[in-house]
Structure 1
């Protein structure tokens, strides 16, 4: 699916020109994110400070990031782009960029330099996975468990999720193939560096689903990141996957009897894309906000509210204490050495190429 020639005429260079020369900027924005603690960290760290500097601007949140690809495809088909800036995971950013649904950017032209004098491309480094995606944070999908429901020996391996004898009870897993398929193959004996080779075959897909079959009748499937912490808090599941920031909130802010299982946490990136085809006044406003929201200080400020590592190298030294709890945030980051002894790294391009096919197979398996 590709955009029309007219829409594709907007290039990275003309985007910068719009920001520099637009006489009028739109006075409202629709930002798309995931809700919950993460969206609130975005709101506190850079949206509200931006609005304070620009009282003429209003902004609203749409919590539809999980459906970003499908919804942007539909908006493009209808010729009606209602979103201005969209927070997506890296694999979705690859798909949106490949399909011409996300705008290509000249990062050094439209983003702020690092506080250490580095160019944006130097500061973000390898996290700039394509020409459309502006990363904000490094986060992980990992497991939390009820400390009072696991006996005297808490789980230490991700494969304990598949051990119903030692750890009886319900599990919570996200209702999608990503993460679940990799964990299943790893716990079925596949080496980490061979997971995607195996998953790229029909036999590998069947093998992963067969492993998931061993716990399927004990799984509560979730679609929103807030569900697992609530299920854990209510004692409805003994362990469950979700984003590490959600678990941090439940543990540190709500004092729930929950602990983290960092083994084979899945590192991922979250960041912004600009939908292709915005009118010039809306594009100018978005570029102005994007430059502010992704500078060194703003990304460091976000770590005051949630345990996600900032994507800029220049932001890392500025990460300090939680804004309200006063605790040191560094040990709660997925990138902390003590938490990162055995991590899973996504193959973004593989998922971009195979996501639609695996989604269909996974949903068919769920319905069986």
Structure 2
């Protein structure tokens, strides 16, 4: 009888730990579809965790308002929003050295994990246009986005100061390396909004990241500001006549974070470690053109499984794109959020 009890006890200890439920929050659309196939499905298969994917608007305020009530565990965030959320105590603090070896930490580019986040991909805010709207000369520069005489038609712009202020200064001839310094001054902000005034009557606003590509596809906009992966999906998977202008692209970093309110922190950490493997990053970049944030992942990127497109050619940091580019200053974004929104709303006359 005693031997049976010992054997039963041993068998119980030998059983695998019960898989936890995990809620991952992302952005929806083609990007989320690529994440599900490239990152989330392999994680579920490998670990047995039951994963639910929710969609949000990308802001730290959404995490503050809904994260605990809706059981968010892992969140896909822009780097600047993650910095704000970390500072407000909304994120679980990570120990990068417990997640990654020294060699793996050195493999991250252009920067490594922080106390609250792990870089996962590089995306770009780019200008794109409806090829049907310009049968002759095509737009080739950010200056063309603000030139409604040579290139007439509605401009689809996010209802936000993000990105468009940098472009306004580039169109004024400000060198990329001076843009954020100038935007830190009242003079720079006035200069940017003055340039934005030149297209005020031609702007149609968007709030959902899927909208600008759809606006180009159905002819509502002639040019649009949006994210390179969305435009790629509309052009290559849906056949829309959309071209990207790489000049002036603003390269940003997307990160994985874990909510401080997570009920499954260990499962969340396991997912972040899984999603940060070079193989996971390469599978994602093979499906949607967001560049990996680990050097060793680049050589693993293959042809798009649906279209056969050589995906390394479409990454935001592909060398053949040329033209001007900016690396989004996440610290500047995190520190100027209130100021930018206040000035932007005043420009929209929302304050009176």
The residue correspondences of 1:174-185 to structure 2 (distance < 5 A) are 174-185=158-169
- Give the Cα–Cα distance (whole angstroms) in 2 for the partners of residues 326 and 197 of structure 1: 42
Runs of 4+ in structure 1 over 6 Å off: none
Unpaired runs of 5+ residues, structure 2, are: 1-15
User: Displacement, 1:325?
Assistant: 1.4
| Larger-Rg structure | 2
- Deviations 1:100-155 (Å, cap 9, x if unpaired)? 222222223124x5xxxx62211114422632111111110101111121131101
Kept in 2, the 8 Å contact 1:87–1:270? The answer is: yes
2:86 is the alignment partner of 1:73: no
**Correspondence 1:104 to 2:93:** yes
Aligned to 1:14: none
CA distance in 2, matches of 1:25, 1:277: 21
Report how far residue 184 of structure 1 moved. 0.7
Instruction: Please report the RMSD computed on the Cα atoms of aligned residues, expressed in angstroms.
Output: 1.9
Question: Does 2:84 align with 1:92?
Answer: no
Match among 26, 36, 39 for residue 32 of structure 2:
39
Specify the alignment match of 1:206 in structure 2.
190
Distance of aligned partners of 1:26 and 1:96 in 2 relative to their CA distance in 1, 3 Å threshold: farther
- Report how far residue 65 of structure 1 moved: 4.1
- State the distance in 1 between where 2:63 and 2:80 align: 15
Determine helix, strand or coil for the equivalent of 2:348: helix
Indicate the residue corresponding to 1:20 in structure 2. none
Q: TM-score, normalised by structure 1?
A: 0.86
Q: What is residue 222 of structure 2 aligned with on the other side?
A: 238
Deviation at 1:231, TM superposition (A): 0.5
Aligned partner of 1:327 in structure 2 is 309
**Closer, same or farther: CA 138–286 of 1 in aligned 2, 3 Å:** same
Contact 1:170–1:236 (8 Å) recurs in 2 = yes
1:136 aligns with 2:120: yes
Aligned match of 1:353 in 335, 340, 346?
Answer: 335
TM-score, length-scaled by structure 2: 0.90
CA deviations 1:201-259 (Å, max 9, x no partner) are 22322221121111011111111111011100111111101110011111111111111
Cα deviation per residue 1:249-282 (whole Å; 9 max; x = unaligned)? 1111111111110001000111201112433xx0
Aligned position for 2:243: 259
Mapped partners of 2:18, 2:109: distance in 1? 30
Q: Deviations over 1:308-335 (max 9, x none)?
A: 1111111111011101212211111111
Where 2:58 maps in the other structure, the secondary structure is helix
Contact 2:140/2:245 (CA < 8 Å) preserved in 1? yes
The question of whether the paired residues in 1 share the 8 Å contact of 2:26 and 2:54 is answered with yes
